[in-house]
Amino acid sequence: MVVSAFVLSVLFLSIPSLALEASAAPSTVWRQNPRVSLSRSLLGVVCSRGDQVGPRVAADVGQPSALHEATLFSRNILVSADVGYYPYQNGPVIAVNPTDSNNIVVVCHDLGISSTMVAYASFDGGLTWRSSSVPRILSDDEFGSDPAVAFDRRGNAYYSYMSVGVYGASVVVSRSSDGGLTWSEPTVAVHGGLEVDVEHQLYMEVLNDKPMITVGPDPVNPRRDNIYVSYTEFVSVFDYMQDILLYENSTIKCVRSTDGGRSFESPVPVSGTITYSGEDEPIRIVQGSMPAVGPDGALYVSYYYSGEDGWLNGTGHLMVAKSVDGGQRFGEPAQIAAVKEFVYSLPPTNFRAWSSLFPIISVGPEGNVYAVFSSKVDGLDNSDVLFSRSRDGGSTWSIPKRVNDDDTANDQFFPWINVGNNGTIHVIFGDRRDDVNNIRYNIYYARSTDGGSTFTPNVRVSESSSNPFYGIPEGAYIGDYFTVASSSEDVYVAWTDCRTGQRSSPNQDIMFARIRPLPPPEIVLSSASGSSGSPVEVNGRRFAAYDRRVSIRFDGVEVGAAYTDPEGGFKSEISVPFSASGGHEISAVDVLGNVAAATFEVNYGLEDVGRDVQKAREDIVDAIDVGQAKIAADISKNISGFKMEVSNSITGVKENISKSMMDSEGRIRGDLSGLLEDIGRVQVKAQQMESDITFLLYISIALNAAAFSILVAAAACALKGKAGQRHP
């Protein structure tokens, strides 16, 4: 299972057509890979699911524990800025300028920008941070990975990282001579990529993984600083006729620059070359190297070796090799410890944690070599932090001693060590002792002032715990290390923090703390007193920087919000809410829970308002009374006037009607008499016409009678005539 996933991931990384499938492949592909650079599949998981949050696991909201009250450390400062779409920063390495301990540099991944490589610089001991120019990857490559940084004794900073291409990866180094503000074009320290062996019909993908950088005096010319970068060279050898992976070699190598990073010499092997050749055998690798230089110029490179029983199986061997000629040759590696192998991720969380096994080393001023690493010690406890030392130049090592002093079976991981110039040993690590569910982690610190014979009780560095599920989606990744650096003044810690992801969408940041207290955030009001409703300007500084939200509150109730500038300052105007006269608290709270408060004296408060309202009410009542009386009088007066008017109008109307009636009557009477006369005349005429008609009738009758007589006479005559003529 592990083996096939490994082979798959190798193929995905190697063959573009399959690389497309990688983003859709099960997460076991990226979970189970001995390479510790950011992989494409991990980037795919992280950058395609920005809106998802993993299981919300019960636990407190990360309030500072009582234990923190007693800690040595300063308040926590947010280092990283969210400039891209994916607000995830992780993998911080911190370094302090030996010529100016106020100048601190943090380098880390930022998954929101294309190269993924960013740096931050502080010039005030870590109180405020400035984003630097973005170190570039090589032009043909796709993204960067595995940031690390170190200063030389003259105050130049060197930033090493992987420049990852489609095939393999190179190791590059960028240089800053202004305290980490600007970075040079990268110099290639080790070339990676594709190589072809035509004669044997092979092609080789060379992936130079997990670089770590240090700077120290050259053993022959101690006034000169050499730059050393150690890394794992993975060479995957393919048969190009059949396009199959034949075997994979891993070798710890170291490369140096003797000219301030302008050029690098040929890489030198530190470990033997370990070959892994297929699914029927355990994965065998070397991985996780770290270089450190002693005061005499002795160079040590530590690393992990899986052993013959394989990676994450059985025993793991933590090794160290020494070079006394400035990294040109290394002696036979010695074993720091043989430990139980780790688990890939620490249940119940998903993030890659097995890098906790890598031996982290630091050399003291007396030349002793000190190492920390994580391992499984007890049956129920998956991981503790262990310490071992060598007083003979790395040849023999003390029996590992547990550094974490909790009495839980919870996990400790990502330990780091730094030995100060006075020999004090500083150790930090991630620690889940405060969460009964073994999910949320804090950063803890322990130190030894007796060369590692005893350690102080652990103290907490982080003010608030981080739930990895609130960081990157699925809690898939928090980087591979947290780091600590020191100067003669102080101790500086940088880690991946997830607390701002808890308040809304997932987020992951780089957080910083030191031992000396840092001044707290504060607010200043434009005026210390005023009336309710009046505007007040709130000026804040030293809050979480870079466009982070600040809630402005009046007696604990939010009345406004502001967003911070790159220095952590803001300006916001609020209206004073109506409230009682006297002192009130105006406060500002940022995303980290930083709080600053000021008192505001309300000099026209609620009781003043109440009194004035009462007076106004009485005035209104009085006014109403006066008004009512006046209105009543007016109405009365108006009504009598109206009555008079109405009365007058009625009289006029009556008169008009009477007059009209009289006029009408006269006219009607006149018309009637005319009419009657006309009727009389018509009657007379009608009578006359009647008598005329009667007369005519008589005449007519008379005429008719006469005519009849004539006719009778005529007829008689005719009859007589006829009778005489019949016989002529």
Contact set with Ca ion (CB under 5 A): 82, 87, 306-307, 309, 313-314, 341, 381, 384, 412, 507, 509
Task: Output 309 or 665, the one with its CB closest to Ca ion.
Answer: 309
By C-alpha distance, which of 444, 418, 416, 447 is closest to 431? Answer: 444
Task: Output 110 or 141, the one with its CB closest to Ca ion.
Answer: 110
CB of 322 to Ca ion, least distance (A): 24
Cα torsion for 107, 109, 114, 118, to the nearest 10°? -10
Cα(499)–Cα(169) distance, integer angstroms: 33
Cα torsion for 682, 688, 693, 694, to the nearest 10°? 130
CB of 313 to Ca ion, least distance (A): 5
Task: Output 313 or 579, the one with its CB closest to Ca ion.
Answer: 313
CB of 285 to Ca ion, least distance (A): 10
* Residue 333 amino acid letter: P
Sequence-distant (≥ 6) Cβ neighbours of residue 219 within 8 angstroms = 296, 297, 298, 299, 324, 325, 326
CB of 591 to Ca ion, least distance (A): 10
By C-alpha distance, which of 389, 394, 395 is closest to 370? Answer: 389
- The structure tokens listed for 385 are 């932090």
Task: Output 265 or 381, the one with its CB closest to Ca ion.
Answer: 381
Sequence-distant (≥ 6) Cβ neighbours of residue 119 within 8 angstroms = 105, 106, 107, 108, 131, 132, 134, 135, 147, 149, 159, 176, 180, 183
CB of 411 to Ca ion, least distance (A): 5
CB of 378 to Ca ion, least distance (A): 7
Task: Output 190 or 417, the one with its CB closest to Ca ion.
Answer: 417
Cα(492)–Cα(516) distance, integer angstroms: 10
CB of 291 to Ca ion, least distance (A): 24
Task: Output 248 or 384, the one with its CB closest to Ca ion.
Answer: 384
Region of 197 (left: φ > 0; alpha: ψ -120 to 50; beta: rest) is: beta
CB of 510 to Ca ion, least distance (A): 8
Task: Output 295 or 314, the one with its CB closest to Ca ion.
Answer: 314
By C-alpha distance, which of 138, 144, 90 is closest to 114? Answer: 144
- The structure tokens listed for 462 are 């982080």
Cα(9)–Cα(377) distance, integer angstroms: 31
CB of 440 to Ca ion, least distance (A): 14
By C-alpha distance, which of 567, 571, 507, 573 is closest to 543? Answer: 567
With CB atoms as reference, the residue minimizing the distance to Ca ion is 87
Residues forming a β-bridge with 370:
362, 389
Task: Output 368 or 412, the one with its CB closest to Ca ion.
Answer: 412
Task: Output 338 or 561, the one with its CB closest to Ca ion.
Answer: 338
CB of 499 to Ca ion, least distance (A): 11
CB of 431 to Ca ion, least distance (A): 8
Q: What are the residue ranges of helices labelled H in 32-134?
A: 40-48
Q: Label residues 205-217 b or e (16+ Cβ within 10 Å = b).
A: bbbbbbbbbbbbb
Task: Output 50 or 165, the one with its CB closest to Ca ion.
Answer: 50
| Residue with tokens 């009582």, as numbered in its chain | 66
First to last CA, the chain: 173
Task: Count Cα atoms within 13 angstroms, Cβ side, for 410.
Answer: 20
Task: Output 87 or 168, the one with its CB closest to Ca ion.
Answer: 87
